[in-house]
Structure 1
Amino acid sequence: MSDVLLIDRRDGVATLTLNRPESMNSLSVELKETLRDALRDVSNDPVVRAVVLAGNGRGFCVGQDLREHAAQLESGDAPPLSTVTEHYNPIAQTLADMPKPVVAAVNGMAAGAGAGLTFACDFRIAAKTAGFLLAFANVALSLDSGVSWTLPRLVGSARATALALLAEPITAEAALDMGLVNAVVEPDRVLPAAQELAARLAAGPTAAYAAIKQSLAFAATSDLQSALAMEGELQARMGATQDHRNSVAAFVAKQKPTFVGH
């Protein structure tokens, strides 16, 4: 595994840390390919029950490596922005489809596709010094990394439009006020807080979490009748799990349930 991405697995939690601190973890081709493949790997790893996505250094991720991108545009070796279909789309899709909870530990600025990575996670824990910036319009680009889908669902259409068109940074506190992040903590608490939340989730009913995520994603683009049918299908599947039987028995016995993930 490339050193541009650090991976730590312990106690059911995989922590993936973007590791290009000298460039605020800007997304080079190497980092995008490594992250894409690593996300697929932890998604399919039955030992991993929750995921943390973090950034090393002062920033979480400032998005596309524009120096590398400028060189590619100058050389003409690749179609402009082919990275969207090759990297950003599969990364966003894998995060959205991840059958386990994903927590973003936003230690500093999350800009462009870096912000998009956090929006695709299930939870966002931000440092008081963190910020978010949809910088796409500043370089005459549209949205990518799933932002057009995730952001309106997080903050509503009007706020998403303003954030995207004005391309102005917002503070962690402003992000908390609009529901974009789940919590704001001291800078030295960001990663520990994210890992503590991930550990709590990893000890929970992970099969049910996967079904809940699937249900919410399906309902977001479905009518009520279809959503109800999917709820019935997923509940039938969850009702047959060992986790459900164990947790009901534990409730009746006034004991704490133990979840095995199936």
Structure 2
Amino acid sequence: MPVTAPEVLHRVENGVSWLTLDRPEAMNALTPAQRERLITLLSEASADPAVRAVVITATGSAFCAGADLRAAPGGGERVAGDVARLIRGGAQRLIASVLDCEKPVIAAVNGTAAGLGAHLALACDLVIAAEEARFIEVFARRGLVPDGGGAYLLPRLIGPQRAKELMFFGDALPARDAERWGLVNRVVPAEELEKTARAWSDRLATGPTRALSLTKHLVNAALDTDRATAFAAEAAAVELAMTTQDANEGVTSFRDRRSPRFQGR
């Protein structure tokens, strides 16, 4: 049976799948049910040709305070490998589902994004933050090691030195500093967050969806591959894109001197 989580609101408008965390009383800390629901919705967005972009956001004053530790399974004796298995099957699967989603994913960060919540935002392809938003690597404060792909994501976004600064000290990074460091694409007043996310997602939803998907894959893989592998992947992606209806429309519209009308196919 599919996992349901009433604390994840979902709607599709104009080709955009909106995923909204809705546990404001808990600062939108993620329960296992919410996590699984997000993974399912991102997978469905990949497979649904009617969905051409995704927005992840939240209600209340926080984006996501991380995993809800009160909802984590407890009790009983743990043996070596139990925690690693939980991380692989939980937080890492969630972050991978964002990175692997075949549609562009925007994070609209309305407030505090801490721990896994910060990694959920930073795994997205584009990040828009309200001025009040903060990003916090809380793990060191609790004597823990970052999970949910943090040590993979942060060095690739801001380099190892700044990544270590955030992870070693656990200090809150305000949205404006996150923008200056390159973690955030745009910082806007809180009242303009949804409007900006809608404008960006609407543009993506009218774009050449397959080409954007291939571009996302190339960029995400670039830092993990050598030049020869990256060039081979690029050549294959270009050839695949050239077989799409949108590529034909792009060339035709250029010749006709008009704006293209992409269908995502």
Q: Structure 2: which amino acid aligns with 1:76? A: G
Corresponding residue for 1:4?
7
CA offset digits 1:146-175 (Å, max 9, x no partner):
212211111111111111111110101110
Q: Identity across aligned pairs (percent)?
A: 37
TM-score, normalising length from structure 1? 0.94
1:88 counterpart (69, 88, 91): 91
Corresponding residue for 1:227?
230
Matched, 1:131 2:134: yes
Give distance in 1, aligned partners of 2:236 and 2:228: 13
Corresponding residue for 1:117?
120
Corresponding residue for 1:149?
152
How far 1:68 sits from its partner (Å)?
Answer: 3.0
Matched, 1:67 2:70: yes
How far 1:81 sits from its partner (Å)?
Answer: 6.3
The residue correspondences of 1:175-194 to structure 2 (distance < 5 A) are 175-194=178-197
How far 1:37 sits from its partner (Å)?
Answer: 1.8
How far 1:96 sits from its partner (Å)?
Answer: 0.5
2:108 counterpart (98, 105, 108): 105
TM-score, normalising length from structure 2? 0.93
Give distance in 2, aligned partners of 1:77 and 1:95: 33
Corresponding residue for 1:42?
45
Greater CA deviation, 160-169 or 83-92?
Answer: 83-92
CA offset digits 1:94-117 (Å, max 9, x no partner):
111111110001000000000000
> How many aligned positions are there?
259
Give distance in 1, aligned partners of 2:119 and 2:48: 24
Corresponding residue for 2:36?
33
CA offset digits 1:156-206 (Å, max 9, x no partner):
111111111111101011101101101111111112211210111110011
How far 1:82 sits from its partner (Å)?
Answer: 4.5
| RMSD value, Cα | 1.5
- Structure 1: tracts of 5 or more residues without a match: none
Give distance in 2, aligned partners of 1:208 and 1:68: 40
| Structure 2 CA distance for partners of 1:223 and 1:80, relative to 1, 3 Å | closer
Conserved in 1, the CA contact under 8 Å of 2:206 and 2:262?
Answer: yes
Give distance in 2, aligned partners of 1:140 and 1:13: 39
**Secondary structure at the counterpart of residue 128 of structure 2:** strand
Give distance in 2, aligned partners of 1:231 and 1:29: 37
Conserved in 2, the CA contact under 8 Å of 1:36 and 1:87?
Answer: no
Q: Structure 2: which amino acid aligns with 1:130? A: A
Q: Structure 2: which amino acid aligns with 1:110? A: A
Give distance in 2, aligned partners of 1:44 and 1:91: 17
Conserved in 2, the CA contact under 8 Å of 1:39 and 1:91?
Answer: no
Corresponding residue for 1:76?
76
